[in-house]
Each structure stands twice: as structure tokens, then as C-alpha cells.
Amino acid sequence: MLNILGKASSINVRKVLWACAELHIPFEREDWGMGFRHTDTPEFLSLNPNGLVPVIKDDDFVLWESNSIIRYLASRYAG
């Protein structure tokens, strides 16, 4: 299951959520970022050293940067 790390109020997270909706990709989401879980922790920085959301985990594959994530999702899941 695709896991999206990032608060839904973030525009950069929202575009990933929008892409998932368009591509009918099931996902789980965790609230990370200002106001939620802090991204300046070793746990989060090990996923994205920039400490920004969104980050995705797709099985063992980790990716950050919203536009790169959308390109990845389209490449992997779009027909």
C-alpha cells in the first residue's frame, strides 16, 4: 500500500492526493509537517533530508519532491 507522509493542508501534499484520486491509487496518509508530527526528527530526515512534505513510501521505495512523486505515480500506475 502506498503511504503518503504529509498534512492534507499542504498544497504540495494535496497535488499528490489529487494525482492518486485521478489514477485511482489506494493509499494511506500520515499527518506530518508544521502543526502535526515534526519533520526535523531523525526518523523523518532519514526519509527526506530536506525535512519537507510530501514523502511517499511505496513498499521499500522512498521518494520526496511533489512533482517527482507525481511523475513516479503516473509512470508506475497510469494505464
Ligand X SMILES: N[C@@H](CCC(=O)N[C@@H](CS)C(=O)NCC(=O)O)C(=O)O
CA angle 51, 43, 16 (to 5 degrees): 50
Cell numbers for 70: 507525481
Q: What angle do CA 49, 42, 31 make, to 5 degrees?
A: 80
Q: Which stretch binds ligand X (CB under 6 A): 21-29, 31-39, 71-79?
A: 31-39
Residue 55 engages ligand X in binding (rule: CB under 6 A): no
45 binds ligand X (CB under 6 A): no
Report, in Å, the least distance between residue 6 CB and ligand X: 7
The amino acid present at 72, given as its one-letter code, is: Y
Query: Which residues are at the interface with ligand X (CB under 6 A)?
Result: 10-12, 33-34, 39, 52-54, 65-67
